Structure 1
């Protein structure tokens, strides 16, 4: 049975790693040296086994990986949430030995955080693509794809959990391929369908009340929950983040987008450009986490604007 080493940087990889360990094909776990929390968690779960856990440094990745594969007699390296590009020297020395779990559909969702983008852009589906690693990021031949339907209430955190569980299922499918004499060539990606999304920057997580409709605002907020503690907005010089909203129905006025009004149950409503209102359910500020109507306690009044 072919052995594998897993490189990871997020606990989202743990369910799949546990499956590999249960089937006794996991020989090692590699974690960037800056992620001490994940290292401790892996040592807690796997420290009593014969699975080696290695801190990785980017500058010595090639040398350490080659030595580690030899000492553990491993055949493949699986990348799950791993942030670094694999050096060309390694890919040339060990062709078709590095396999990536991409937490989005390829080639339509290339990039650093397809989970964020799939929610923000209100896609109907996403999924996981397992592909062979090549020198070009997210462009290698596809081995396995499975899809997840996205509902209108999904958050970044909920989707990460679903992805983690799906990756565990797909790791069992992958094991059958890894135990073949030769790894399948995989399906070449269509460049005609390809899209690449950069990692979200500050401007990507700020609500623009003037240009975004209520559905786009809700989607952005869910895409930022919980990793960014919500999407940014402001009142005057005070910045805070909205973590959750609910639809509050049709706006009964032609209010300027971003206008605050008080609902019947002391709810804090904000008017949107599509003449709908959103009820602000939860916010986060330097002072802490609060229900949305606490905005009135912070001095915001009906008729005020969010920037």
Structure 2
């Protein structure tokens, strides 16, 4: 059985279904189109299917699992914590696949955090589940390299595709192994990141270097429609930017020049070249933003 939260799990679901490992799919809170698509696929393939749209609906899960009788339950971005009465279906039967290394990157959005923190490597962590988020015994951390140009969207796709093969390998392992090696998480390395808020996505020009700013922009693209900031006394979001190897004598956080990019001064005497940004007037290029400035858009 697979409990999931949305399209991040689709490649894994497709591969596990192709290899005939799936008996049922449960979907947590998600948009209607994803729920409908999974329900249709489940009906066509004779899988069990159930939607769990909110925390309250989890009370129905144990009875459903008892009906389906799966050997193991895989969780992939399932949004709700499973209570003890569900987990007691079987010790060692619930395995979560966390899209970040554990225990260092606990929390709902590790992809954002590893990019913001300028990590060069992340991981998909397979771990047994307990009644606390991301704290069960680790089976393995499978490393995944992060490229400088990776955005939240690019890294999500990379991890989603890698996850498909990891879940298949895990299913094969479970089929033949009598014991799955695992280890307790090292709490001295543990950190839990809450879901990002405005303070986490906001560019602090006075304290952040150019590299840190670009990393934040990439970490916010596309889920937050870019990194938040204020420019020309207007609230905007920067969607895409790159490092411009050109020193400046301007005040940090001000526009140095506008060419085909919007070039902004950073505290380390570097500039970032903004390629695409979002304003109240819409998503635009640097040149279009300059036109807006010249016409004094409200």
1:168 aligns with 2:167: no
Structure 2 residue aligned with 1:274:
268
How do 1:151-166 and structure 2 match up within 5 A?
A: 151-166=147-162
Unaligned runs of 5+ in 2: none
Unaligned runs of 5+ in 1: 302-307
In the aligned structure 2, how far is the partner of 1:33 from the partner of 1:125? Answer: 29
The alpha-carbon deviation at position 44 of structure 1 amounts to: 4.5
The alpha-carbon deviation at position 71 of structure 1 amounts to: 2.5
How do 1:174-185 and structure 2 match up within 5 A?
A: 174-180=170-176, 182-185=178-181
In the aligned structure 1, how far is the partner of 2:29 from the partner of 2:116? Answer: 31
The alpha-carbon deviation at position 165 of structure 1 amounts to: 0.7
Root mean square deviation of aligned Cα: 1.9
The answer to whether the Cα contact below 8 Å between 2:250 and 2:256 also exists between their aligned partners in 1 is no
Deviations 1:224-276 (A, max 9, x none): 0000100011235521110000111122x32111110225x443210100101
In the aligned structure 2, how far is the partner of 1:11 from the partner of 1:239? Answer: 31
The alpha-carbon deviation at position 170 of structure 1 amounts to: 0.3
In the aligned structure 2, how far is the partner of 1:136 from the partner of 1:300? Answer: 54
Deviations 1:178-206 (A, max 9, x none): 22464525122112222221111111011
The alpha-carbon deviation at position 284 of structure 1 amounts to: 1.3
The alpha-carbon deviation at position 136 of structure 1 amounts to: 2.4
In the aligned structure 1, how far is the partner of 2:188 from the partner of 2:251? Answer: 41
How do 1:196-207 and structure 2 match up within 5 A?
A: 196-207=192-203
Q: Give the alignment's TM-score, normalised by structure 2.
A: 0.92
Structure 2 residue aligned with 1:73:
69
1:235 aligns with 2:211: no
Identify which of 29, 36, 39 aligns with 1:43: 39
The alpha-carbon deviation at position 145 of structure 1 amounts to: 2.1
The alpha-carbon deviation at position 132 of structure 1 amounts to: 0.2
User: How many residue pairs align between the two structures?
Assistant: 294
1:58 aligns with 2:55: yes
Structure 1 residue aligned with 2:144:
148
Structure 1 residue aligned with 2:122:
126
1:297 aligns with 2:279: no
Identify which of 242, 258, 262 aligns with 2:257: 262
Deviations 1:107-150 (A, max 9, x none): 11111111000000001100100100012221111113211111
In the aligned structure 1, how far is the partner of 2:168 from the partner of 2:262? Answer: 48
In the aligned structure 1, how far is the partner of 2:104 from the partner of 2:35? Answer: 32
Q: Which moved more, 1:47-56 or 1:67-76?
A: 67-76
Q: Give the alignment's TM-score, normalised by structure 1.
A: 0.90
- Does the residue aligned with 1:296 lie in a helix, a strand or coil? helix
| C-alpha distance 33-275 of structure 1, shift in aligned 2 (>3 A) | closer
The alpha-carbon deviation at position 8 of structure 1 amounts to: 1.0
Deviations 1:48-72 (A, max 9, x none): 110122111422314x322222322
The answer to whether the Cα contact below 8 Å between 1:241 and 1:285 also exists between their aligned partners in 2 is yes
In the aligned structure 1, how far is the partner of 2:187 from the partner of 2:99? Answer: 19
In the aligned structure 2, how far is the partner of 1:215 from the partner of 1:85? Answer: 36
1:82 aligns with 2:113: no
